[in-house]
Structure 1
Amino acid sequence: MSIADCLCAVEPAGALSRFRRGYYACLYRRADAPFELTDAVLCADGPVRSLVELALEPEFRRGHGALYDAVNTGWVEISRLRALLATTPVPKDGEGRIVLAVDVTSWLRPDADTSPERRFCHVSGYGANTGQNVPGRPYSFVAAVEPGRTSWTTVLDAVRVRPGDDLTELTADQIREVHARLTRSGHLDQDDPELLVVLDSGYDATRLAWLLADLPVELVARVRSDRVYYDDPGEPAYRPKGGRPARHGRRLTLADPATWREADLRTRNDTRRYGAATAAGWDRMHQQLQRRGPWAGQHPASETPQPADRWTWLVIAAYTQLRLARPLAEDARRPWERPKPARKLSPTRVRRRFRHIRPGMPSPAEVRKPTTPGPGRPTGRRNTTRAPRPDVGQHHRHGADHDRTALSNPSRRG
């Protein structure tokens, strides 16, 4: 029996207890404070808008200084935590296929002038042409999605997109590593359907498919409405005056229906919310690849701000405990909310009950030891050390304006 089958056979309380013990084992330095900080995030009433206010939660038995030390100087073994996440139950669709969704979420920090390793993140506005680029830290997340309409996902990986990073190469490495971890944990077998990866229109799906050609995965990417594709030019034709054979056939512009040829596949389905939905597909179409940009270059290395990465993984560990506690929670609805069965509880309602579930779970963190605060800076002496102010997107890969554009915006011709 595989590891995944063994875990699925364990009752929900046992799965949550196992994850809490494994998560504590991933904390190598100042383990007690990060563990209690994660519980404080889960048991706090409402959104977490201030980090220091988590020190007021009863689940965090230490002072606010220990809270900042947990984020700034703690040590979370991310590789071990990634392997632990892969052993948790992973949802599958009706065909037994695992569906992964990949997307980028930006942690905007426009006023953090002294914070290094920021890059420009594209933020869309509500009106036309209202998007803007704001300094921040973008993170690429990989999560397994559940079938049907639900707010739950299974987060399996998160990587910070550094200045100068190629998002397509980074995404390909993420998918490859997640596939390997799911295979080692027993969620994927040779007889299982291929892994399905869903992407938004901001990704270069053509190049990503080329990078993952040796991996048994299927890519489904949303296509921008202004994309241009070409037919296969066929056999090279004889040219009396010589010249290079044509590389591209007939042009197909998605925004111009007059350029569409007869579709090779056409389907029509009736939906409950949007009425009739039709889809057309054309086989053996390709994009015109440019001999510059991401198709030619090298991948530079750079340092990462550890506190931001550490806090991101603490939140991922908190959300995973929330997902595992889903079968144990009762409906704690507000008087104006509709009742829901236990299997359809939202993450918000499960979080309301986590404070009552937590006492029955193991808590490896030790009780706080009595300490004496340090002397601090002498009275009357000011801090004369000026913090550096690094430039935003200072590491460039494809030209001086590479990080001043959207995070992932491949050209319309690929």
Structure 2
Amino acid sequence: MTSVHDGSLREACGDLAGFRRAFYGCLTARSDALFELADAVLCADGPVRSLVELALVDEHRRGHGSLYAALARGRVDVERLRGVLASVPLPRAADGRMVLAVDITCWLRPDANTSPARILCHTYGRGKDQHVMVPGWPYSIVVALEPGRSSWTAPLDAVRLVPGEDAATVTAGQLRQLGQRLIAAGQWHPGDPQMLVVADAGYDTPRLAWLLRDLPVQVLGRMRCDRVLRRPAPPRLPGTNGRPPRHGGEFIFGDPGSWDEPDAATGSETRLYGTATVRAWNRLHPRLTHRSAWIDGANKLPVIEGTVIRLDVARLPSGAVPKPVWLWYSGNDTTAGDVDRLWQAFLRRFDIEHMFRLFKQTLGWTTPKIRTPEQADRWTWLILAVYTQLRLARGLAADLRRPWEKTAPPDRLSPARVRRGFRHLRAKTSSLASAPKPCRPGPGRPPGRRNNRSTPRHDVHISPNARKKPKTAGNPRPRRTG
């Protein structure tokens, strides 16, 4: 008699094998070399320190020249791969809602003067409140978050920001296309809870909500502590002349006297932060100004109402003085239960940082010294496919722990520990890449002939926001427009 555990293992093995076949089908040029390169990243011992060292992994049966040629002249059907990532089993929240997180991470290339399309990327320095701008390639990545404490996410899409593009517009278009793919893949049906998009303070959350208003999507994002929102316009009294007001009284984040009584309040005890107190105020909106970002054919600026949530905690794990966190949610009429789920979903957004660290420190996403951004895009999609295979192999991998590591349950293995045993899982799946054919190396440059053609240099694109002087310390003025 077949047990439930054996059935789940066969289902997980089938999902992994199915994704590997679909991923191989997305490689349209030099597919065998690209597929074995991804297997080399999966099966390498330890972090990926150098791209050429992957040619020494047993799973990579080709030479190092084929490795570089695959990244330079290979092709990946990105649209097809996006559909494959949207079709794999995705995590859900406790209420069945799909929670998506979006963030921008940078592939820093400060010394790559011959690489085009570089942008000044914001990084944090070693000092307190020190910000450094370093040239690189920024990528906007969207993932599906898991409920509870976990370092796992489900990457769904990656878009490289091109110089001159508006990050908010690119992100809105990326989320729109992703939402349509999830609906087409059957991940969302009419009657299901709306998908929740969680963003940090770097995004204009009301604008994202306005651009995605025709999709089953709700937006939750952090706001700066110096914002000023407006309440709904008061009812017009009979016999009043003049234009009716569009905004009500001010809600100043830094002035408790303007808050009034919250519409919902809740409190709970947490393990890391102590007592968490949450208050929410419904139907608040920013007062928009006449900017080109809001004009889309209509002369009247919209009024985007939402819920403002303030989160206060008793302590921080680092021992620093805790500061309140202000959130803006595109929904209205929220209850105490809704508010409790929202702020916990926002805390789960930081799981994407664990994925970025694994990409850069273990899988070697930013290790190759690639010249063109097209090669960087090709390598980025390989890394996303590698991580997805690790996630699908969670229930199949054995815990090959080090002697100094603690024993972890099978369902609590980290991505790095799943990667240790992936070599044994790969042997159980079908080998899709064909055997390499013997060939001779090319003749190369004739002896005595020098390369007199210099490689073109490219300047770093500097956005208008990067030219502005940093704000001085002190009490900032409240931002009354958005």
Give TM-score, length-normalised by structure 2: 0.77
Relative distance call for 1:16 and 1:129 in structure 2 (3 A) is: same
Give the letter aligned to residue 78 of structure 1: V
> Residue 16 of structure 1 aligns to a residue in which SS?
helix
Q: Pick from 436, 454, 458: which aligns with 1:368? A: 436
- What is the correspondence of 1:251-270 to structure 2 with a 5 Å cutoff? 251-270=250-269
Q: In 2, are the aligned partners of 1:119 and 1:403 still within 8 Å (CA)?
A: no
Match in the other structure for 1:175: 175
Q: In 2, are the aligned partners of 1:133 and 1:404 still within 8 Å (CA)?
A: no
> Residue 284 of structure 1 aligns to a residue in which SS?
strand
Q: In 1, are the aligned partners of 2:137 and 2:161 still within 8 Å (CA)?
A: yes
- What is the correspondence of 1:150-165 to structure 2 with a 5 Å cutoff? 150-165=150-165
Give the drift of 1:315. 0.3
Give the drift of 1:247. 4.2
> Residue 101 of structure 2 aligns to a residue in which SS?
strand
Give the letter aligned to residue 248 of structure 1: H
Give the letter aligned to residue 381 of structure 1: R
Which stretch shifts more, 252-261 or 140-149?
252-261
Q: In 1, are the aligned partners of 2:37 and 2:60 still within 8 Å (CA)?
A: yes
Match in the other structure for 1:31: 31
Match in the other structure for 1:356: 424
- What is the correspondence of 1:3-402 to structure 2 with a 5 Å cutoff? 11-235=11-235, 246-292=245-291, 294-295=293-294, 305-393=373-461, 401-402=464-465
Give TM-score, length-normalised by structure 1: 0.89
Relative distance call for 1:405 and 1:42 in structure 2 (3 A) is: farther
Q: In 1, are the aligned partners of 2:9 and 2:395 still within 8 Å (CA)?
A: no
Q: In 1, are the aligned partners of 2:29 and 2:76 still within 8 Å (CA)?
A: yes
Relative distance call for 1:244 and 1:124 in structure 2 (3 A) is: farther
Q: In 1, are the aligned partners of 2:9 and 2:396 still within 8 Å (CA)?
A: no
Distance 1:404 1:160 in 2: 22
Give the letter aligned to residue 61 of structure 1: R
- Which blocks of at least 5 consecutive residues in structure 1 are unaligned? 1-6, 299-303, 395-399
> Residue 135 of structure 1 aligns to a residue in which SS?
strand
Q: Across the two proteins, how many residue pairs are aligned to each other?
A: 393
Give the drift of 1:197. 1.0
Q: In 2, are the aligned partners of 1:28 and 1:74 still within 8 Å (CA)?
A: yes
Distance 1:257 1:45 in 2: 55
Match in the other structure for 1:3: none
Relative distance call for 1:346 and 1:184 in structure 2 (3 A) is: same
Relative distance call for 1:296 and 1:65 in structure 2 (3 A) is: farther
Give the letter aligned to residue 401 of structure 1: P
Distance 1:217 1:23 in 2: 28
Give the drift of 1:250. 2.3
> Residue 282 of structure 2 aligns to a residue in which SS?
coil
Give the drift of 1:288. 2.3
Distance 1:392 1:115 in 2: 9
Q: In 2, are the aligned partners of 1:20 and 1:363 still within 8 Å (CA)?
A: no
Give a deviation string over 1:167-219, Cα, whole Å, max 9, x none.
11212222222222222222211121111111111110011111011111111
Distance 1:169 1:10 in 2: 42
Give the drift of 1:252. 2.2
Q: In 2, are the aligned partners of 1:120 and 1:404 still within 8 Å (CA)?
A: no
Give the letter aligned to residue 129 of structure 2: N
Give the drift of 1:236. 5.5
Give the drift of 1:124. 2.1
Distance 2:416 2:120 in 1: 31
Q: In 2, are the aligned partners of 1:141 and 1:155 still within 8 Å (CA)?
A: yes
- Which blocks of at least 5 consecutive residues in structure 2 are unaligned? 1-6, 298-371, 470-477
Give the letter aligned to residue 361 of structure 1: T
Give the drift of 1:385. 1.3
Relative distance call for 1:63 and 1:228 in structure 2 (3 A) is: same
Distance 1:134 1:112 in 2: 11
Relative distance call for 1:373 and 1:239 in structure 2 (3 A) is: farther
Relative distance call for 1:385 and 1:230 in structure 2 (3 A) is: same
Relative distance call for 1:372 and 1:344 in structure 2 (3 A) is: same
Q: In 2, are the aligned partners of 1:101 and 1:144 still within 8 Å (CA)?
A: yes
Distance 1:27 1:368 in 2: 16
Distance 1:203 1:293 in 2: 17
Q: In 2, are the aligned partners of 1:54 and 1:60 still within 8 Å (CA)?
A: yes
Q: In 2, are the aligned partners of 1:86 and 1:156 still within 8 Å (CA)?
A: yes
> Residue 141 of structure 2 aligns to a residue in which SS?
strand
Distance 2:448 2:461 in 1: 38
Give the letter aligned to residue 170 of structure 1: V
> Residue 249 of structure 1 aligns to a residue in which SS?
coil
Give a deviation string over 1:53-107, Cα, whole Å, max 9, x none.
1111111111111111111110000011111111111011111111111111111
> Residue 360 of structure 1 aligns to a residue in which SS?
coil
Give the letter aligned to residue 219 of structure 1: V
Match in the other structure for 1:397: none
Relative distance call for 1:239 and 1:8 in structure 2 (3 A) is: farther
> Residue 222 of structure 1 aligns to a residue in which SS?
strand
Give a deviation string over 1:111-143, Cα, whole Å, max 9, x none.
111111111111123433301211111111111
> Residue 191 of structure 1 aligns to a residue in which SS?
coil
Give a deviation string over 1:131-157, Cα, whole Å, max 9, x none.
121111111111111111111111111
Q: In 1, are the aligned partners of 2:227 and 2:253 still within 8 Å (CA)?
A: yes
